[in-house]
Structure 1
Amino acid sequence: MSTSSSSNPEIANSVRTGAFNTNVHDVGSSKPGQPPVLFIHGSGPGVSAWANWRLVLPVVSQERRVVAPDMVGFGYSDRPEGIAYNMNTWVQQALDLMDAMGIEKADVVGNSFGGALSLALAIRAPERVRRLVLMGSVGVKFPITQGLDDVWGYEPSLEEMRKMLDIFAHSRALVTDELARLRYEASIRPGFQESFSAMFPAPRQRWVDAMASDEAAIRALPHETLIIHGREDQVIPLQNSLTLSQWIPNSQLHVFGHCGHWTQIEHTARFNHLVSQFLTEADEAP
């Protein structure tokens, strides 16, 4: 593992995962018997692990070791020429990362696209996952929303980024000119838009379907699972989380009112408390 000396907070450690390097934040420490927490980001334009989890990692890392990678094709991980951007690739990257970092088992927190990946990871390697947190999760089939179609179809401009932020957040107060400018600039960094546009070309319903896990496999998951959703989410329908809560036997569902797709940003303190409490309960279980 190498550590970047860059002043950019989005760039952290570089870890070799298979044939490419993954940019990963690795902070905090766990007590004996506590697994690290693996945070997997969503799939918005210009996203990175840091942009997605910047308000969460400093809090959770006070109690646990937290690991937050940029999945291949996103953020500051490598973008290998000819790589297939699909769930198999991303699941393998997650497993390679855990192996490289000496993580036998982790609690896994997935946002949106990251929720679909977390589900797929738990299905493929159930012994590597202790508990699951799924936030505004993909992973089941649904008719693509206009919001998600717009997000995946993003064409870089400051005005388009403002529209994206309006889709993500329920409260307009969060959608500042400064945030729009920062996210727009992130979306046009070298290689970012090229890989992003290559992942989800139209028609985009097929990518929703491709991220879905088999119903029987989801129903067979033994893991304790916390499912979180914003009631006013325009990107991923609340019905997704209702379905997951019905299918996953050991699950609980928390719906945030006055909340869009950015639960961890729109209700940061409550989100952090809810997740920390859920994971701590697992530590204290007999």
Structure 2
Amino acid sequence: MDVSYEGTKRELVTDEGVLRYHVAGAEDAPPLLLLHGSGPGVSGWRNYRGNLGVFAEHYRCYILEFPGFGVSDPTEGHPVLAAGSAVTGFMDALGIASAAMVGNSMGGIVAVNLAIHAPARVSRLITIGGVGPHVLSPDPSEGRRLLHDFVADPSKENLARWLRAMVYDTDVVTEQLIEERWEAARDPDSLEAARVMYGAESFALQQQSLLRSGRPPYWAMMHKVSCPTMLTWGLDDRMSPPDMGMASMRLIPDAELRVFPKCGHWVMIEAKTAFERSVLEFLQR
């Protein structure tokens, strides 16, 4: 199916601002939500524009732009929490009781949290890296340390260094991609989201807040995820190394893990055809 940015974009006005999204696929097809990751210049469209046409042949696909990343209006609170509220509000507004979800990195964490706390909303779950605890790899990872560097000095050079760490094949990171992401990364809302999530001081404060609250981290509650789950990972992921996937596969009761060789953090881009085939097979069982 042919899709375009202008042909698929929509807006939803809420009490907390405008949520922007893309939709494609037959209106009576089962719903599939595509939830994007974090990082400078990110958007749902940039994450999934290459996959939308394939998935829309089988599903009513929704790419939701999370608040505070320069596309949808910003809201109060931590970006991950704001994203979770945005997903449930979006589903309620569009009359979607339950949906399969694909979540890239932060989007996977958002979907896992929904599957834990609102299990009826998530029928099946596919994550792309980013979910779970570090077991053998250092934390913060190389990719996260490069994000710290970008937040401390938001330059095009630091952005390019981080982008190249997201992939196995650095030819994927073209000058056009760098320029596109740099233009978006300079947006004040995008910079603020990056600072809150990846600034060294903010990261330390988040860790202290979690310890003081006495609440377990989300991954310690992943045994409560009851829906069928497929964890997808790039073998050469330098943002969230694949040992995290091994832990998540053990923690989630009905989970399987698929690891793609010669692939970094952006599985849906670097392993596009194999990823799409795996997702469709998993969803259509």
Taking structure 2 as the reference length, the TM-score comes to: 0.87
Displacement of 1:146 in angstroms is 2.5
Choose from 14, 21, 26 the match for 1:24: 21
Displacement of 1:191 in angstroms is 3.3
Choose from 70, 85, 106 the match for 1:113: 106
SS, match of residue 47 in structure 1: coil
Paired with 1:152 and 1:110, the residues of 2 have a C-alpha distance of 23
Choose from 11, 14, 22 the match for 2:11: 14
Q: Which residue of 2 aligns with 1:156?
A: 154
1:120-163: CA deviation from partner (whole Å, max 9, x where unpaired): 01111100110000110234466221211212542432222221
Q: How does 1:161-176 map to 2 (within 5 A)?
A: 161-176=159-174
Check conservation: 1:40, 1:108, Cα contact below 8 A. yes
Distance 1:137 1:46, change over 3 A: same
Structure 2 residue 256 is matched with structure 1 residue 263? no
Distance 1:63 1:141, change over 3 A: same
SS, match of residue 170 in structure 1: coil
Letter matched to residue 189 of structure 1: D
Paired with 1:139 and 1:67, the residues of 2 have a C-alpha distance of 25
Displacement of 1:46 in angstroms is 0.6
1:158-192: CA deviation from partner (whole Å, max 9, x where unpaired): 22222112110111221222211111112113533
Letter matched to residue 220 of structure 1: K
Distance 1:138 1:147, change over 3 A: same
Q: Which residue of 1 aligns with 2:115?
A: 122
Distance 1:92 1:191, change over 3 A: closer
Distance 1:205 1:263, change over 3 A: farther
Choose from 210, 218, 229 the match for 1:213: 218
Distance 1:257 1:150, change over 3 A: same
Displacement of 1:35 in angstroms is 3.2
Distance 1:248 1:18, change over 3 A: farther
Displacement of 1:23 in angstroms is 0.8
Distance 1:119 1:152, change over 3 A: farther
Q: Which residue of 1 aligns with 2:213?
A: none
Check conservation: 1:41, 1:49, Cα contact below 8 A. yes
Identity %: 31
Paired with 2:231 and 2:261, the residues of 1 have a C-alpha distance of 14
Choose from 51, 54, 59 the match for 2:54: 59
Q: Which runs of 5+ in 2 are unaligned?
A: 211-215
Letter matched to residue 46 of structure 1: G
What is the number of equivalent residue pairs in this alignment? 270
Paired with 1:208 and 1:9, the residues of 2 have a C-alpha distance of 40
SS, match of residue 55 in structure 1: helix
Paired with 1:10 and 1:181, the residues of 2 have a C-alpha distance of 23
Paired with 1:16 and 1:139, the residues of 2 have a C-alpha distance of 33
Choose from 228, 247, 254 the match for 1:250: 254
Letter matched to residue 13 of structure 2: R
Q: Which residue of 1 aligns with 2:281?
A: 277
Richer in helix (by share): 2
Letter matched to residue 26 of structure 2: S
Structure 2 residue 63 is matched with structure 1 residue 68? yes
SS, match of residue 44 in structure 1: coil
Paired with 1:11 and 1:106, the residues of 2 have a C-alpha distance of 19
Check conservation: 2:131, 2:248, Cα contact below 8 A. no
Q: Which runs of 5+ in 1 are unaligned?
A: 1-6, 282-286
Check conservation: 2:146, 2:158, Cα contact below 8 A. no
Q: Which residue of 1 aligns with 2:244?
A: 240
SS, match of residue 73 in structure 1: coil
Paired with 1:126 and 1:178, the residues of 2 have a C-alpha distance of 40
Choose from 112, 120, 128 the match for 1:135: 128
Check conservation: 1:39, 1:68, Cα contact below 8 A. yes
Check conservation: 1:14, 1:23, Cα contact below 8 A. yes
Paired with 2:194 and 2:6, the residues of 1 have a C-alpha distance of 21
Letter matched to residue 39 of structure 1: L
Check conservation: 2:34, 2:61, Cα contact below 8 A. yes
